[in-house]
Structures are given as structure tokens and as C-alpha cells.
Amino acid sequence: MSYTVRWRVSAERDLHALPRDVQERVMVRVEALAETPRPPSSAPLKGTLTGLRRVRVGDYRIAYLVDDVEGTVGVVAVGHRSRFYEDLGRNGA
């Protein structure tokens, strides 16, 4: 089953703020999530971010939700690992 990818507006802004080469790598990774939304390289987030998953793209992270009923992968945030979790928690995923 292929999932539909949906981007939050804030996640799209995050993506467009990244360098072009990183944007391309992130897009390839997100497209792969449509086929395999819970790859072995992903991890569930904990604490106040429970319900979200994350995947790595080099020094960058993608936070997303999987809705098996709707068949969607919702991209919540994209960012550099140095501030990713702090920003994600502040913005209330």
C-alpha cells in the first residue's frame, strides 16, 4: 500500500530554508516514506512528541506522523539536528 504524503505549511517552509542539495535528499527520503512509512532507520519520538516518528538525512531530521486508517504520512517538521528537537517541542508538533 502506498501512502499519500501531506506537508504542513510550516514543514514546507522548513524545507525551502535548507540548502538545495539537502532539499533534494529530504525529498527523496520523504518519497520513500510513502512506500515504507516505518523503515528500520526511523524511530518513534518520546515524551511530549509521542506519536511522531523521525528519520535522519545526514545532519538533518524529518518528523512525521503515520495515519494507517487514512493512508497518509504527514510531514510535521524538517531541520538541522542541532535545534530540531528544541524547535519541534516549542512549536507543539
Q: How many CB atoms lie within 10 A of CB 13?
A: 12
CATH of the domain at 49: 3.30.2310.20
pLDDT, residue 91, reads 65
Helix or strand (DSSP H, E) at 60: strand 60-67
List, in sequence order, the alpha helices (H) in the chain: 9-16, 20-35, 84-90
What's the total number of domains in the chain?
1
Host domain of residue 33: 4-90
At 12-58, the pLDDT tens digits run 999 999 999 999 999 999 999 999 999 999 999 998 889 999 999 99
Q: Residue 89: helix, strand or coil by DSSP?
A: helix
pTM of structure: 0.91
Enumerate residues 6+ apart whose C-beta is below 8 A from 89.
48, 49
pLDDT of residue 92: 56
d(CA 39, CA 68): 14
